[in-house]
Amino acid sequence: MRREKVDVLIVGGGAAGLAAAISATKEGVKTVLLERDRSTGGVLNQCIHNGFGLHVYKEELTGPEFMERMWDELKEDVIRPNYTVLEIKPKTREVVTLSEEGLVIFEVKALVMATGARERPLSSLQIPGSRVAGVYTAGVAQKMVNIYNRLPGRKVLIVGSGDIGLIMARRLKIEGMDVVGVVEIMPEPGGLIRNVVQCLEDFEIPLWLSHTVVEIHGDQRLNAVTIAKVDKNKKPIPGTERKIKVDTLVTSVGLIPQNELIEGFVEMDPINKGPIIDEFMRTSIKWIFAAGNNVAIHDLVDFVYEEGKIAGYYAALISKNEKLPDSDKRFLRGQNVGVLLPQRFSQKKSFKIYLRPLKSFKKSILKFDDKVIRKFNWRIRPSEMIDLVVKDFNNFGPNVTVEVNEID
């Protein structure tokens, strides 16, 4: 068992982790990034579509391009691929890892968690029917097609209109599969409207809103699914069932932040399903930072990258024994606010906050306590994360209620 001392240890080599490594190394501290896969980049490897990088690189890039840009930015070789973290010991600041060299225990001054999210598997939704081959999460289907050069089947229904679901509808259609449609249980698409337009409308793929899969059919391999319309409570309406012959089901029914390594000792936010953080991306434990989709599910890799940069920078400062101000102020969720971060802040400098409304509003205002901070003259939706920079907090108390209200 080997021991190694590092200043900043980053767990996860997706966009957040790589960005954290870029900023931490710039501060001249000893940084190590652990990646459990054989190379870094995470999901960017397989996201060959464009739409990345408009904020960060001021260019519209594909996933692999964004990933390679980050590799170019990272000047030092700090990446350790094929390293799995087995345990984090908060008392001793030790991180126990397994790799081909055996067990390595890292003694760290600061830690950045950038462990991302995993896809919710369809099996967790309790849809009755056969358990057959031919049911894939959108991410698995994407990896199969774009990395493994293999098609998942011939005729496919997409379940869930999250962004990867929409992207995969188009991708599979381009590669010659018969894409019969996309079903979405909610009355609105789960992904960005831009993806509804360019992935579905452009390729004449139908989108069935307020619909869900109620049964899976097949003997060994999928051969059909039954879909049905749902009522306001998302319950299938009897009599609306329709059986559709498909050999493949691709599911995009949600992402789950992965926090298994820290949730036992770090304060968690039940709505974001990630650690509670402040504007420095610091968790409730002063030397543990977190960034990216493990904090909350983001829409844009650009946001994830920016958070990673912040986390890496402040983790480096902490590792140099610099003090950060206490984050003794908090944001409280008021009306219509779902995902919200950071949840704590120190009011010492301006920072960005992200939030999702719980409902879709044509015109609305965002308020801090009773003060209007931003007016939205355009439609805002739960599927589209709102980002705004906050500057002045002088007139607020230690608890600021964040609220979205509809206006005429």
Partner 1 sequence: MIKKMTCISCPIGCELTVFVNGEIKVEGNRCPRGLEYAKNEVTNPKRILTISVKVEDGVMELVSAKTDKPVPKKMLHEIIEYIKGLKIKAPVKRGDIIVNDILSTGANLVATRTVLKKD
Partner 2 sequence: MKVFIVGAGISGSLIARELSKYDIEVHIVEKAPDIGWGVTKANSAIVHGGYDDPPGSVRAMFAAYGNKLYDELSKELDFSFKRVGSLVVAFKEEDMEYLKELKKQGRENKVEDLEILEKTELKKKEPNLSDKVIAALWCPTAGITEPWDVAMAAIENAVENGAMLHLGESVKDIVVKDGKVSKIITDKAEYKVDVIINAAGLFADEIAKMVKVANFEIFPRKGEYILLDKKLKGLVNSVVFPTPTKKSKGILVVPTVDGGILLGPNAVDLPKEKKYDLSTTRDGLDEVYVKSKKLVPKIDISYTIKTFAGLRPETKEKDFIIGPTKVWGFVNVAGIRSPGLTAAPAIAKYVVEKIFPEDLKINLQRKKHFNPYRKKIPNIKEVGLEEWEKLVKKDPRFGRTVCFCNNVSEGEIVEAIRRGARTLDGVKFRTRASFGRCQGGFCSLKIMEIISRELNIPIEEIKLNYEKSWIMDGKVRV
Instruction: Single out the residue of 100, 204, 370, 408 in contact with partner 2 (rule: CB under 8 A).
Output: 100
Instruction: List phi, psi (to 5°) of 233.
Output: -90, 15
Residue 50 binding partner per list partner 1, partner 2, none, with a CB distance cut-off of 5 to 8 Å that depends on partner kind: partner 1
> In the structure encoding, which two tokens stand for residue 74, read together?
């990272």
* SS3 label, residue 89: strand
> For residues 144 and 399, what is the distance between their CA atoms, to the nearest angstrom?
47
Enumerate residues 374-393 that contact partner 2 by CB under 8 A: none
Closer by beta carbon to partner 1, 235 or else 379:
379
Cβ–Cβ < 8 Å for 63, 70: no
Number of residues forming the site for partner 2 (CB under 8 A)? 45
For partner 2, give the closer residue by CB, 124 or 399: 124
Q: Are 71 and 169 in contact (CB under 8 A)?
A: no
Site string for partner 2, 206-245 (x = CB under 8 A): --------x-x--xxx------------------------
Cis peptide before 342 (omega within 30 of 0): yes
**Both tokens of residue 240?**
């609306």
The pattern of x and - marking residues 171 through 190 that bind partner 2 according to CB under 8 A reads: ----x---------------
Pick what 118 binds: partner 1, partner 2, none; C-beta below 5 to 8 Å, kind-dependent: partner 2
CA distance 274 to 53: 24
**Which residues of the chain form contacts with partner 1 (CB under 8 A)?**
48-51, 54, 60-65, 67-68, 145-149, 174, 192-194, 196-198, 202, 299-300, 378-379, 384
- DSSP code for 70: H
User: What is the token pair recorded at 231?
Assistant: 């009522």
Q: Which two tokens stand for residue 338?
A: 């779902």
Out of 75, 86, 350, 379, the residue judged to bind partner 2 by CB under 8 A: 86
Angle formed by the axes of helices 301-319 and 63-73, to 10°? 20
Asked whether position 48 contacts partner 2 by CB under 8 A, the answer is: no
Give the number of other CB atoms < 10 A from CB of residue 241. Answer: 13
Q: In a 3-state reduction of DSSP, which class is residue 127?
A: coil
Per-residue string for binding with partner 2, 153-172, x by CB under 8 A?
A: xx------------------
- Give the binding site for partner 2 (CB under 8 A): 1, 36, 82, 84, 86, 96, 98-103, 118-119, 121, 123-126, 128-134, 137, 139-140, 143-145, 148-154, 175, 214, 216, 219-221
